[in-house]
Amino acid sequence: MTNSITWNLEDERDLWRAICAPERWFDDSSATATHPDSLWWFIHLAWGAEFYFEAHPEQPRWLIERLHKPYLRWLQHHLMAWRKQSLAGSTDRYYIASILPRGFGKTVTTTKSAMIWMHLEEPDMSTLIASSTGELSADVYKSIMAVLSGTDEDSWFTWLYGNWRGGSKEWTKTHLVHSFRRSGNLSEPSFDTTSVDVGITGYHHRIHVWDDPLFANKRRMDRDRYDISVHTAVNASYNALQTNGLLALVLTRYYDDDVAGRHLREEGVRTWSGMDCPNLSMFDKVEFGQGIWHVYFLQTEDELTGEPTHPVLWDRAKIAEAKRRDPEDFACQQQNNPGSGERAPIIESQVPSLYMDYADFNYEVPLEGVTVHIDTAFKTPDTIRTGDDNAIVPFFHDARRNGMVYLDTDNMKASNEWREEEFNTELVKTLLTYRRKIVRLKALTDETEKGGKAGSYKNRLISIVAGTGIPFSPDQFKQINRTSDKRARIRSGAGYWVEGFVKILLHKSPDGKWIIPPVVRKLINQVIRVDVTQHDDLADAAMDVFLPTIWRRPLPRGSSEDEGSYIRHPGDDELKAFSRPITTEELYEMIDHNKEIQETMGPGRGWDTSDYDEPISPREPV
460: three-class secondary structure by DSSP:
helix
Q: Going by C-beta distance under 8 Å and a sequence separation of 6 or more, which residues neighbour residue 179?
A: 163, 164, 165, 166, 167, 168, 169
DSSP strand pairing (441-447 vs 367-375): parallel
Residues 202-252: tens digit of each pLDDT: 789 999 999 999 887 777 777 778 888 999 999 999 999 999 999 999 999
Q: Mean per-residue pLDDT for 448-462? A: 67
Host H or E run for residue 488: helix 486-499
Gap between the Cα atoms of 122 and 117, Å rounded:
9
Give the rounded distance of the alpha carbon of 602 from its chain centre.
Answer: 52
With H, G, I as helix, E, B as strand and everything else as coil, classify residue 521: helix
Q: State the burial class of residue 441 (Cβ atoms within 10 Å of its Cβ: 0-12, 13-18, 19+).
A: buried
Q: In the prediction, which pLDDT does 339 show?
A: 67
Instruction: Please check the confidence at residue 565 and state whether its pLDDT lies above 70.
Output: no
The answer to whether residue 51 scores a pLDDT higher than 60 is yes
pLDDT band at 2 (very low <50, low <70, confident <90, very high): low
User: What domains can be seen in the chain, in order of their start residue?
Assistant: 9-298 (3.40.50), 350-556+564-570 (3.30.420)
Name the band, by pLDDT with cuts 50, 70 and 90, for residue 617. very low
pLDDT at 413: 92
β-bridge partners, 269:
293
Percent of the chain with pLDDT over 90: 50
What letter represents residue 170's amino acid? E
pLDDT of residue 282: 72
pLDDT score recorded for residue 471:
79
Of 313-317, 354-358, 553-557, least confident by mean pLDDT is 553-557
385 has pLDDT over 80? no
Mean per-residue pLDDT, 463-491: 77
pLDDT, tens digit, for every residue of 409-444?
A: 999 998 888 888 888 889 989 998 998 888 988 999
Average pLDDT over residues 525-534: 75
Tens of pLDDT along 86-137?
Answer: 999 999 999 999 999 999 999 999 999 999 999 999 999 999 999 999 999 9
Report pLDDT digits (tens) over 20-37: 999 999 877 778 899 999
Q: What is residue 608's predicted lDDT score, i.e. its pLDDT?
A: 40
